[in-house]
């Protein structure tokens, strides 16, 4: 193997890692590294090497080497952190610690509904695992990709669409390799033989799980995920309203049903732009190449494709009678607010798929086209992973999306800005109004979705989708992101998650930042793990002479 | 004011605290201090003074003084930590920081269902607050006492009986005075003007809330609690089974209903001893003064008072139709497992209370006696605080419980040991069998309850109730606690919470303890806040010459 970087980079470290994980699992060839440095937006971090340990012991050894050699590591689980930075580290000069080879499922209980996984275990892998066992348990998926790591998404506090949608809230028992190489388990899992290790979140004494989510204080090498029992009966609902100002009343109508437990999962409401970008790529022809897409053409698309200004979906889980009563309540709540409300179950969906044409003639509802978009969403609400949402990352491309989609490789521009708002109509309206105005002014289509993430909050996902191959667009998109961050932040709508270029944007130099700095200094004195991740990039936590990780010299 | 301790204790510190909070809010008289040192079991900690700040600024000032003078502080909210240590600090020589004066409710939203409180706000206070507003929100109560602090109970990870039973899981947005006096807020609450501060748990970046529960890393001075909307209809259910081995099948029958969301609250199952101790004090006459109470006399009580070997309660919340369907499912699940299953709603309860005698003749069920025990439990499931469970702390006393109950003052012996078990019949059986055997062998009645705390776990509360005025009992009870800890621990049933004498019992010298030690050292270099609380009493976190807080000299 050739290591063109080795003349520039710490050759001793490379050699030690090769000895720890096998030479074939240390990559330093230019091509692979440049790929790993490529996200769905412009970044300027250089990755000197990629190290892929096979197990926890190797992770520990890699971390010890990194400490000795003072080279920072940036752990990734699957690295499919699309829209937020893919595999790209928060600071320059970090060696990628790629955990994809650690893909064992180490524990499982059908009766108690949990599974314990390593970082490399993907959504697709867990789905297949459950299917192979004829399990009556459903996983909760994020829409990102079937190849997405469960641990990666959970530690980023991602979410899905079933009653277990808040991923981090439905996990426990972390195994963590600490920044100096020790292994720690959280909750009761830290006691050998503890019966509630995979079952009870808090354990006894201070609860440390939260410390390791969206953080750079350790490397999660194992985690238990809770799984929901498949209900006796499942029914999805879809609704929409034509008027843009119809959003607030719908949000307010659904909130009581969420808060009283009638709706146990995350309803999801997408605006017209979001739905259009799921149906097709940018209408270059109709716009004669002009961007952004605006009224009245946008209105034309809404009418032609029967897209509402707002388009909602959600699901009901329970016995037939429970679902029937929930259906009655949803109907009652949305009456006069949603212009369309349809319920869909497995039988109806199978029927509709077979007789879409006939169905359309009977019901007047164009199921075929709708089904193409509805089916993946329907599946997500039942814990079936889908690659479909990736399609919309090709929105502004001038070539069709390939069968094997890879937004990083294909120059898809995507930035996700994801503020949290109170679960109230007035806030839903305000966030989306602000975002729409700013984005159109910046020349991007405001593709927005709102997910009722918890009883009391909306997670608003604002997509800045563009074509990285168009000169200037990278910069314009970054400016738009920054503007959304500032403008929505000023009104109190703060992001639940950050893109890798803006990790320090939320620091205010207050006691929280100072506390994190102290904790980082205590656990990671040499600033080895993911410097700059969800913290100031200066990595000033490190007290010693090697404190500033940016000074780790490429060339030493 | 006289300060008899001041000749022995740090007079400068006392003077500074007096100047910070007002002389009337620094107590050092022997009588009050000895009272504060008295729990429901033997402890040997001396409290040199009690300081009562009125607001957060005063807390900060008190903490700064403590740092300068190197005197450790032990914060209490209401100090009603009965069964676990009341107001008694984990180590000797700590000044009590009594937060009861900080009792403001600072924020409230009917629509979003939350309230923000200071540490002195009690269950009764919040209940009255909601009632005065005709609020349609219900709080979740712990059975301990109406005077119990909401923050105190939540930070100890206590629980109640409604769908919001896991208190810590239903709180967010902590305000914390850190060990060196800075103020920090958690989650989004740390950003000024953040709209989701009281609504969204995780914020952005590492989530620190867990770090401050069951911990000694800071003083929580404010917290938001989520409140549930009152349901359209409420119905409680009560069930029992006569056979001791009937527990496991009931647990297994109820689990699927909890996991699928049919039962949203914590079912509660108490054994015969637990129910008896709620109905009456120890039968000194019938036992001719002998302890413990055993078969066949215990069987006699079961028959006479219609107590099952296991006695369950729970509640259903929803629309009439939702509750009806849940009722059908509970009935079906418990059929052939519970020998009695009764449903009770407000109407039936009012009726029953009025016509208990008539009702008994019709139904054959002795409602009057039963109602005395059922009503407080019924209320708890609707968020009504009750002092009733305190009655059982007088179980072994030879005098009747007074109207104003105070177990600390009245020499009631009480130790609560509270292991977590998987929500499975086999584990419920094993934990309770082990506990019963050990306790009877130690001479105590095994009063045990099991609460389905989360979908996957049972919280098992084992009460060691005794009379502290009987010589030798304190020691025997402590030995019994230790034996339960060891014996159940060996089988993997670990406590979710610890008594103040056993705070270091769960340390294993592993990476978790070491991490906590590092965090403590980073945040609290002088070991000022609650040394020994949920950690090794050696407080070896402190690196300096004043590291060992036990060396803070009484007499300096």
pLDDT tens digit string along B284-326?
A: 999 999 999 999 999 999 999 999 999 999 999 999 999 999 9
Band the pLDDT of B443: cuts 50, 70, 90: very high
Chain A residues whose beta carbon lies within 8 Å of the beta carbon of residue B325: 319, 321-322, 325
Give the closest-approach CA distance of A422 to chain B in angstroms. Answer: 6
List the beta strands (DSSP E) in B283-383: 310-318, 340-344
Instruction: Supply the mean pLDDT for chain B.
Output: 92
Q: Do B506 and A205 touch (CB under 8 A)?
A: yes
Chain B residues whose beta carbon lies within 8 Å of the beta carbon of residue A215: 205-206
Pairing of β B457-467 and β B412-417: antiparallel
Chain A residues whose beta carbon lies within 8 Å of the beta carbon of residue B212: 206
Give the least confident one: A25-29, A389-393, A474-478.
A389-393
Chain B residues whose beta carbon lies within 8 Å of the beta carbon of residue A453: 200
Nearest CB partner across the interface for A204, out of B203, B205, B498: B498
Nearest CB partner across the interface for A111, out of B229, B424, B506: B424
Give the closest-approach CA distance of B240 to chain A in angstroms. Answer: 24
Band the pLDDT of A539: cuts 50, 70, 90: very low
- What 3-state DSSP class applies to B461? strand
pLDDT at A167: 97
Band the pLDDT of A364: cuts 50, 70, 90: low
Chain B residues whose beta carbon lies within 8 Å of the beta carbon of residue A455: 113, 226
List the strands of the sheet with A50-51, edge to edge: A26-27, A50-51, A95-98, A73-76
Q: Do A512 and B455 touch (CB under 8 A)?
A: no
**Pairs across A and B, CB distance < 8 A:** 288
SS3 assignment for B94-133: CEEEECCCCCCEEEEECCCCEEEECCCCEHHHHHHHHHHC
pLDDT at A134: 98
What are the φ and ψ backbone dihedral angles of B466, each rounded to 5 degrees? Answer: -155, 180
Mean pLDDT of A256-284: 96
pLDDT at B361: 75
* Residue A199 contacts residue B456 (beta carbons within 8 Å): yes
pLDDT value at A436 more than 80? yes
pLDDT value at A43 more than 70? yes
Q: Which residue has the higher pLDDT, B222 or B509?
A: B222
Distance between CA atoms of residues A397 and A405, nearest Å? 12
Nearest CB partner across the interface for A494, out of B111, B191, B534: B191
Mean pLDDT of A325-345: 96
Give the closest-approach CA distance of A318 to chain B in angstroms. Answer: 7
Q: For B97-136, what is each residue's pLDDT tens digit?
A: 999 999 999 999 999 999 999 999 999 999 999 999 999 9
Q: Do B226 and A456 touch (CB under 8 A)?
A: yes
Nearest CB partner across the interface for A206, out of B196, B213, B496: B213
Instruction: Supply the mean pLDDT for chain A.
Output: 92
Give the closest-approach CA distance of B477 to chain A in angstroms. Answer: 22
Give the closest-approach CA distance of B520 to chain A in angstroms. Answer: 9
pLDDT value at B6 more than 50? no
Q: For B500-532, what is each residue's pLDDT tens digit?
A: 999 988 887 789 999 999 999 999 999 999 999
Question: Residue B400 gets which letter from DSSP?
Answer: P
Q: For A91-143, what is each residue's pLDDT tens digit?
A: 999 999 999 999 999 999 999 999 999 999 999 999 999 999 999 999 999 98
ipTM of the complex: 0.93
Sequence-distant (6+) residues with CB within 8 A of B57 are: none
Sequence-distant (6+) residues with CB within 8 A of A263 are: A254, A257, A314, A316, A326, A330, A452
Distance between CA atoms of residues B311 and B256, nearest Å? 19
* Residue A109 contacts residue A87 (beta carbons within 8 Å): no
The reported pTM is 0.94
Give the closest-approach CA distance of B163 to chain A in angstroms. Answer: 9
pLDDT value at A5 more than 80? no
Buried b vs exposed e over A47-85: b needs ≥16 C-beta within 10 Å? bbbbbbbbebebbbbbbbbbbebbbbbbbbbbbbbbbbb
Band the pLDDT of B372: cuts 50, 70, 90: confident
* Residue A238 contacts residue A313 (beta carbons within 8 Å): yes
Chain A residues whose beta carbon lies within 8 Å of the beta carbon of residue B171: none
Sequence-distant (6+) residues with CB within 8 A of A503 are: A90, A532, A533, A534, A535, A537
Give the closest residue to B456 by CA, choosing from A229, A118, A384: A229
* Torsion of Cα atoms, A242 then A244 then A247 then A249, to 10°: -80
Q: Where are the alpha helices (DSSP H) in B22-55?
A: 30-36
Q: Do A205 and B182 touch (CB under 8 A)?
A: no
Distance between CA atoms of residues B136 and A505, nearest Å? 40
Nearest CB partner across the interface for B229, out of A260, A497, A506: A260
Q: Which tokens hold the place of A174?
A: 């972390």
Mutate to test the interface with A, among B63, B154, B159, B196 (most CBs of A within 10 A): B196
Give the least confident one: A252-256, A309-313, B545-549.
B545-549
Chain B residues whose beta carbon lies within 8 Å of the beta carbon of residue A515: 178, 184, 208, 523
Distance between CA atoms of residues B387 and B405, nearest Å? 8
Cβ atoms within 10 Å of A118's Cβ, excluding its own: 24
**Closest residue on chain A to B521 (Cα):** A522
pLDDT at A536: 67
């Amino acid at each position: 193997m050739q290591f063109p970087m080795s003349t520039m980079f710490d050759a001793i470290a490379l050699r030690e890692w090769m000895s720890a994980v096998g030479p074939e699992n240390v990559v330093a060839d230019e091509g692979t590294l440049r790929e790993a440095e490529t996200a769905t937006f412009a970044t300027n971090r250089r990755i000197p090497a990629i190290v892929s340990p096979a197990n926890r012991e190797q992770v520990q050894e890699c971390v010890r080497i990194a400490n000795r050699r003072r080279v920072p590591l940036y752990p990734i689980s699957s690295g499919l952190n699309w829209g937020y930075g893919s595999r790209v580290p928060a600071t320059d000069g970090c060696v990628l610690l790629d955990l994809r080879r650690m893909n064992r499922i180490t524990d499982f209980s059908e009766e108690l509904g949990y599974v314990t996984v390593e970082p490399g275990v993907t959504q697709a892998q867990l789905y297949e695992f459950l299917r192979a066992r004829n399990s009556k348990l459903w996983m909760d998926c994020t829409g990102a990709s079937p190849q997405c790591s469960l641990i990666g998404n959970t530690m980023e506090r991602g979410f899905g669409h079933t009653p277990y949608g808040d991923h981090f809230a439905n996990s426990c028992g972390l195994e963590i390799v600490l920044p100096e190489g020790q292994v720690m388990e959280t909750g009761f899992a830290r006691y050998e033989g503890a019966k509630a290790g995979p079952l009870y979140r808090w354990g006894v004494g201070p609860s440390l799980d939260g410390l390791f989510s969206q953080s750079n204080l350790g490397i999660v090498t194992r985690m238990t995920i809770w799984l929901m029992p498949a209900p006796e009966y499942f029914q999805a609902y879809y609704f929409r309203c034509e008027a843009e100002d119809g959003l607030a009343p719908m949000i307010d109508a659904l909130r009581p049903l969420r808060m009283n437990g009638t709706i146990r999962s995350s309803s999801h409401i997408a605006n017209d732009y979001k739905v259009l970008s799921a149906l097709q790529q940018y209408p270059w022809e109709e716009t004669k190449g002009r961007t952004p897409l605006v009224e009245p053409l946008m209105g034309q698309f809404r009418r032609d494709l029967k897209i509402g200004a707002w388009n909602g979906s959600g699901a009901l889980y329970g016995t037939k009678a429970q679902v029937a009563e929930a259906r009655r309540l949803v109907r009652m709540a949305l009456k006069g607010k949603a212009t369309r409300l349809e319920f869909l179950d497995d039988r109806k969906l199978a029927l509709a798929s077979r007789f879409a044409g006939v169905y359309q003639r009977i019901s007047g509802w164009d199921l075929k086209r709708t089904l193409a978009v509805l089916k993946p969403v329907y599946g997500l609400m039942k814990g079936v992973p889908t690659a479909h949402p990736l399609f919309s990352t090709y929105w502004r491309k001038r070539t069709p999306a390939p069968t094997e989609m890879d937004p990083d490789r294909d120059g898809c521009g995507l930035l996700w800005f994801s503020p949290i708002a109170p679960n109230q109509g007035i806030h839903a309206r305000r966030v989306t109004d602000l975002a729409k105005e700013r984005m159109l002014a910046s020349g991007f289509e405001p593709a927005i979705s709102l997910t009722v993430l918890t009883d009391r909050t909306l997670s608003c996902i604002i997509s800045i989708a563009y074509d990285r191959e168009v000169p200037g667009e990278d910069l314009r998109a970054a400016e738009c992101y920054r503007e959304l961050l500032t403008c929505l932040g000023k009104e109190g709508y703060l992001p639940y998650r950050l893109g890798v270029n803006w990790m320090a944007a939320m620091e205010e130099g207050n006691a929280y930042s100072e506390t994190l700095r102290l904790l980082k200094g205590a656990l990671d004195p040499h600033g080895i793990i993911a410097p700059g991740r969800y913290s100031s990039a200066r990595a000033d936590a490190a007290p010693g002479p090697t404190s500033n990780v940016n000074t780790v010299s490429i060339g030493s």
